[in-house]
């Protein structure tokens, strides 16, 4: 049976306040520091990924939970304005919408998040009919949503039963535990794992090493491990072959959400029938172009823009 949605995204959605760049350490003691830029924008790894995929032309639905408050309404309305179906974004009257403050400094950033509804998001927020009606199911911010994390193996297994592909971007683990047993349960049903280089090392259990080494180890656990490597581009491993793609020569204004836009590009490329090496180059273009403006969604490219910046060659297998 054909699927009505190209992509179902499950996970976090909230406003981001992005301030920076800091030119000195953050000062307490009621000191006021001035920075060049500040913006209020849509945040949450899952929400940014959903917007990026919709911008690339996919029919996207979102499932998650926000508060029934001004921040929640801003989040819902912004997703909808960017073409994402938000009927499964629940408005929780008992808990506040998560809020995130991002402080930038050079190519680094500090992230402060008040979890709000994140701890309440669970598989119950994902309608069964929607899960059955999506060609691809993506989840993000695994460690911030413990109830959802516990339900993801079941959700991904059900998605597979309905013929969907699955992907996971864990993001960072604030606890530092990177629970291997829990991760093993969900990775059994994950087709694409999409960490950045630092996350890949932690997920692979490597105290040190290269992104390529981490990708090879992770490819023994999932069909395709895709690792984002910042300005150096990205790489993927399918258990047999390593493919790499270089970064674009752009000077970023803001890298917040670039990895999520990369995820959207990779999923969209596979949806179009591209091979993993081709998808890697397209996704690098999507992630790189998203850094042209502040915030995670304002500069996300269209399909034509991303194709115009996709390197025709330069990826290699090893």
Q: What is the pTM of this model?
A: 0.94
**pLDDT tops 70 at residue 17:** yes
Q: How many CB atoms lie within 10 A of CB 250?
A: 13
Q: How many CB atoms lie within 10 A of CB 10?
A: 31
- 155, 160, 263, 226: CA torsion to nearest 10: 110
**pLDDT tops 90 at residue 232:** yes
CB 253 within 8 A of CB 237: no
DSSP assignment, residue 48?
A: H
Mean pLDDT score of the chain: 94
Quick: pLDDT tens for 120-132.
Answer: 999 999 999 999 9
Q: How far apart are CA 1 and CA 9, in angstroms?
A: 20
Q: What pLDDT score was predicted for residue 47?
A: 98
Average pLDDT over residues 150-175: 97
For the residues of 3-27, what is the DSSP string, one character each? Answer: -SBSEEEES--EEEEEEE--SS---
Please provide residue 163's backbone torsions phi and psi, each rounded to the nearest 5 degrees. Answer: 85, 15
Q: How many CB atoms lie within 10 A of CB 23?
A: 11
Average pLDDT over residues 21-32: 91
**pLDDT tops 90 at residue 287:** yes
For the residues of 175-207, what is the DSSP string, one character each? Answer: TS---HHHHHHHHTT-SEE--BHHHHHHHTT-S
**pLDDT tops 90 at residue 1:** no
- Estimate to the nearest angstrom the gap between the alpha carbon of 301 and the chain centroid: 16
Quick: pLDDT tens for 100-152.
Answer: 999 988 878 898 999 999 999 999 999 999 999 999 999 999 999 999 999 99
- What percentage of the chain reaches a pLDDT higher than 90? 86
Q: What pLDDT score was predicted for residue 313?
A: 58
- Estimate to the nearest angstrom the gap between the alpha carbon of 237 and the chain centroid: 19
Superfamily of domain 7-25+32-309: Ribokinase (3.40.1190.20)
Average pLDDT over residues 241-264: 93
Average pLDDT over residues 297-312: 93
pLDDT band per the 50, 70, 90 thresholds, residue 315: very low
Place of tokens 């899952």: 46
The full set of domain ranges for the chain reads 7-25+32-309
Q: How far apart are CA 243 and CA 26, in angstroms?
A: 40
pLDDT band per the 50, 70, 90 thresholds, residue 309: very high
Average pLDDT over residues 239-251: 94
Give the per-residue SS3 of 204-261. CCCCCCCHHHHHHHHCCCCCEEEEECHHHCEEEECCCCEEEECCCCCCCCCCCCHHHH
CB 281 within 8 A of CB 314: yes
Element of type H or E holding 110: strand 108-114
The HSE-up count of residue 59 (CA atoms within 13 Å, CB side) is: 8
Q: What pLDDT score was predicted for residue 177?
A: 93
Q: What pLDDT score was predicted for residue 278?
A: 97
Structure tokens at 298: 């304002």
Q: Is 308 exposed, middle or buried (0-12, 13-18, 19+ CB in 10 A)?
A: exposed
Q: What pLDDT score was predicted for residue 318?
A: 46
**pLDDT tops 60 at residue 314:** no
Q: Is 312 exposed, middle or buried (0-12, 13-18, 19+ CB in 10 A)?
A: exposed
Average pLDDT over residues 243-254: 91
Average pLDDT over residues 180-190: 93
Q: How far apart are CA 198 and CA 158, in angstroms?
A: 30
Quick: pLDDT tens for 46-101.
Answer: 999 999 999 999 999 999 999 999 999 999 999 999 999 999 999 999 999 999 99
């Amino acid at each position: 049976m054909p699927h009505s949605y190209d992509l179902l995204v499950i996970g976090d959605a909230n406003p981001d306040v992005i301030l920076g760049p800091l030119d000195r350490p953050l000062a307490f003691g009621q000191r006021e520091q001035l920075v060049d830029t500040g913006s209020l924008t849509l945040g949450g790894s899952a929400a940014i990924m959903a917007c990026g995929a919709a911008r690339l032309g996919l029919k996207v639905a979102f499932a998650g939970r926000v508060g029934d408050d001004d921040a929640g309404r801003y989040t819902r309305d912004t997703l909808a304005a960017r073409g994402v179906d938000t009927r499964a974004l629940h408005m929780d009257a008992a808990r506040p919408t998560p809020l995130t403050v991002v402080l930038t400094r050079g190519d680094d950033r500090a992230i402060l998040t008040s979890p709000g509804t994140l701890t309440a998001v669970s598989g119950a927020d994902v309608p069964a009919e929607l899960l059955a009606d999506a060609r691809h199911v993506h989840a993000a911010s695994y460690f911030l949503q413990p109830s959802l994390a516990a339900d993801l193996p079941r959700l991904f297994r059900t998605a597979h039963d309905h013929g969907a592909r699955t992907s996971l971007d864990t993001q960072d683990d604030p606890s530092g535990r990177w629970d291997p047993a829990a991760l093993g349960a969900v990775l059994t049903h994950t087709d694409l794992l999409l960490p950045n280089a630092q996350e890949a090392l932690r997920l692979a259990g490597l105290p040190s090493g290269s992104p390529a080494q981490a990708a090879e180890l992770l490819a023994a656990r999932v069909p395709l491990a895709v690792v984002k490597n910042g300005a150096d581009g990205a790489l993927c491993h399918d258990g047999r072959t390593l493919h790499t793609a270089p970064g674009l020569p752009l000077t970023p204004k803001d890298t917040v959400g670039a990895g999520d836009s990369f995820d959207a590009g990779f999923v969209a490329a596979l949806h179009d029938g591209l091979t993993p090496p081709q998808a890697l180059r397209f996704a690098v273009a999507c992630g790189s172009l998203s850094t042209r403006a502040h915030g995670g969604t304002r500069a996300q490219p269209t399909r034509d823009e991303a194709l115009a910046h996709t390197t025709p060659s330069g990826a290699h297998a090893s």
